Structures are given as C-alpha cells and as structure tokens.
Homo-oligomer: A and B are copies of this chain.
Amino acid sequence: MSPVSHLPARALAPRRHDEILRRLGAQGSVSVAELAGFFDVSRETIRRDLKLLSDQGRLGIVHGGAARFEPSEPAMSLRSQENAGGKAAVGRAAARLVRDGMVVFLDSGTTTLAVAHAISELRDLTICTASLKIALHLCHVPGMRVHMLGGEVDPGEEAAVGIDTLDAMARFRVDIAFLGGGALSPDGEVTDFTRAGAEQRGRMIALAGKAYFVLDASKFGKLTPLRIPNFERAAGVIVDANPELALAEALSQKGPELIVAA
C-alpha cells in the first residue's frame, strides 16, 4: 500500500496520461514545457509519455509538444472538382436504377453528391442521407422528402458519422442505396479509410434491398485499410471507366455486378 502521507504525491504515469489527453481534447495541443512544469517532472519524462501515447495512436508528436490528429484531407470543395465529368456519368448511371416512389439512401462523398444531382429529375422519392450537402441540395427539389441522419459531423466528409448515425439508419426501410468507398482494391473489393465508415456501409448493404457502390476511376487499384462487411452482398459497383481485366474478374467473382457508366 502506498502511504497516503504528506509526500508530494507525484503524479503516476497513468494520471499524467489522462491529464495530457484531457488537455489535448480541450485545447487541441500541449507543450512539453507546460506539462513538465505542471507535473513537476523533467521534460524527458513528458517526452517519454508523449512517445508512448503516440505509439498508441492517440496523439501526434510535434516539435515542442503534441497535437491532436486532424484527418485534414484535401477540402471537400477541392475533391469534388476532380474528375467531375466521370463522377457525373456515374451519377447518371446510378439515377437510371431509381424509380419514382423509391426510398433511396445516399452515402457521403463526392461521387454520391453527383448521384444526388442526377436524381433531382425524379419525383416522389424519399431520401435518407448523412451528408449535409446532399440533404441541403435535395431538400429544395420539389417532390423529395429528405431525412437527415444525425450524429457527430466529420469535417472531412461533411457528414454525420458514429453511433448515432448507425442507430438512425437502422430505422429505415431502404429500396436502393448508393455508397461511396475509399478504394477498389486489386482483389476486387471496395475498402474504406475508417472503421466507422466501413461499418456504416456494411450495415447499409444488409439493410437496403439493393446496394450499389459508386466510384470513379481514381479509386482503382488503391489500397485502404478496412474491408467492408457484407461486400459480397452488394448489388453492384458503378464506375466511370473500365478497370483492368483482372480487377473486373475478381470483382464479379465476389458477386457484385460491374457497371461502367457511358
């Protein structure tokens, strides 16, 4: 038992770690000097703490301290300009699969935003989405009922993510879903950047009558870390250009149909 005496009660390592993470959450960054002064330990000790937390992937080390991770991908406004023509073609191909009166789920992402524009021509759709921009666009189209899924907003995606989103999704009966993805891997599978994203897409496949991935050619052959559950049960993958033969075969063997937009 540690004596509860008058000793200066030096902070134990886990206590320091907790406080460091708390400050990170509150201020976004911490400095070695600050922390060393606060805990009254040497800078080396703080650095060792930061190294440890960094190895656990809970913060990023910068010169002079540490900072919270910011996924900081290129702003969405920039991404949506890339290969705009291809995305539009994918959007039109996707729209041809939709019939008046359907319940449509639209995932977040720039290609699904193109789908949202393409289906503006249709009537009497019920739209279900976690993307702020898609909701904002389609809510002004007459004859559309738009349901926004709630959750914590991911600035990179400009969309709700997380447990609340999964929860809200489960309440819908969806006729057709259009999903984004991080990459179309060489073995014919769509993969994702984040655990939360992969989970969300996987559940939507299970939930929707038919689920299609929409991807543009820039995603071919890339690799991202997370497999999407239920991928083989997706109805198809809509792309804007012919992928390599090997990739196409690998995909069709998994199950989903390959649709190449004109």
Considering only residues 126-147 of chain A, those with a C-beta below 8 Å from chain B are 132-133, 135-136, 139-140, 142-143, 145-147
| Copies of this chain in the oligomer | 2
Which residue of B has the minimal Cβ distance to A159? B148
Q: With an 8 A cutoff between CB atoms, is A15 at the interface?
A: yes
What total of chain A residues lie within 8 Å of the partner, measured CB to CB? 61
Contacts of A155 in B (CB 8 A): 139-140, 146
Which residue of B has the minimal Cβ distance to A33? B9
Consensus secondary structure, chain A interface? mixed
Question: Are B164 and A67 in touch, CB under 8 angstroms?
Answer: no
Interface with B: A72-80, A189-197, A211-219, which one? A72-80
Q: With an 8 A cutoff between CB atoms, is A84 at the interface?
A: no
21 contacts between A and B (CB under 8 A): A9-B34, A12-B64, A14-B67, A26-B101, A28-B123, A28-B124, A28-B143, A57-B75, A58-B72, A132-B139, A133-B136, A136-B158, A139-B158, A146-B153, A147-B152, A147-B153, A147-B164, A148-B151, A148-B152, A150-B150, A150-B164
Chain A residues with CB under 8 Å of chain B are: 3-4, 9, 12-15, 18, 26-31, 33-34, 36-37, 56-58, 62-65, 67, 70-72, 74-75, 77-78, 101, 123-124, 132-133, 135-136, 139-140, 142-143, 145-155, 158, 160, 164-165, 168, 171
